[in-house]
Amino acid sequence: MSGLDGKVVLISGAAMGQGEAEARLCVERGARVVIGDVAEEQGRTVAASLGSSALFVNLDVTQAAQWAAAVAAAESAYGRLDGLVNNAGISMRLPLAELSVEQITRVWQINQLGPMLGMQHALEPMKRAGGGSIVNIGSAAGLRAAPRVGAYSATKWALRGLTRTVSREFAPFKIRVNIVHPGMIETPMISTLPPDMRETGRASIPLGRVGEASDIAAMVCFLLSDEASFITGAEHTVDGGGSA
């Protein structure tokens, strides 16, 4: 028996990268997943590859109505909602002086407002299920300072505080809330970095390699599982020792 057997998990931004890896590992460990993303073609392809254990829903995480529809789809298809992974996110690599109001707002909407709305809409379905687990995806950029990522970093620092606060609010309902901080992970987001930045980042990692999406998926699945039943309000760094 796996700690995810029979559980139903909604994952935002699950059409590719870390989210896709999380969805695949959840299914491998016995869960059924709802893949939420704005990338419809890619999301449907991932869901189809997972068969009856996966369902795709269009999910713009900045829209409350789409969150409501996503959790309703989970309950309609699978009868319950046990887990939520707030994985969707975007980065903006510009000096603060060059950021427009529109760019700052967009990063905030996806990286901070999105998880807030997701947790709001997951609350009642998880209460009906008798409890659950929420995993927010933070970042090593929310643990230490770095230039040119002010908008992104600010949202990840804020998500740390939000995670801890909500963990206290949701605890009476047996809903656990934790956050995972990935370091440099081989995903489409990282592939946009200039080669020199990628090499500098790799060289700064004590374990000597860039992480894989599977490294994050393993931690996420653990936190979603019954094995983590006494863990809430906690921060988990998966960065090869870079922030040590």
Scan for tokens 């860039």, then name that residue.
210
Quick check: helix, strand or coil at residue 60?
Answer: coil
Rg of the chain on CA atoms, in Å: 17
Q: Which residues contact 117 (CB under 8 A, 6 or more apart)?
A: 61, 62, 63, 64, 67
Token couple for 219: 């931690």
Which of 28, 54, 152 shows the shortest CA–CA distance to 99?
A: 152
Give the span between the Cα atoms of 179 and 58, in whole angstroms: 24
Positions marked catalytic: 152
Instruction: List the structure tokens of 145.
Output: 């300072």
- Residue 109 CA to residue 214 CA, distance in Å, equals 27
Q: Which amino acid is at 92?
A: M
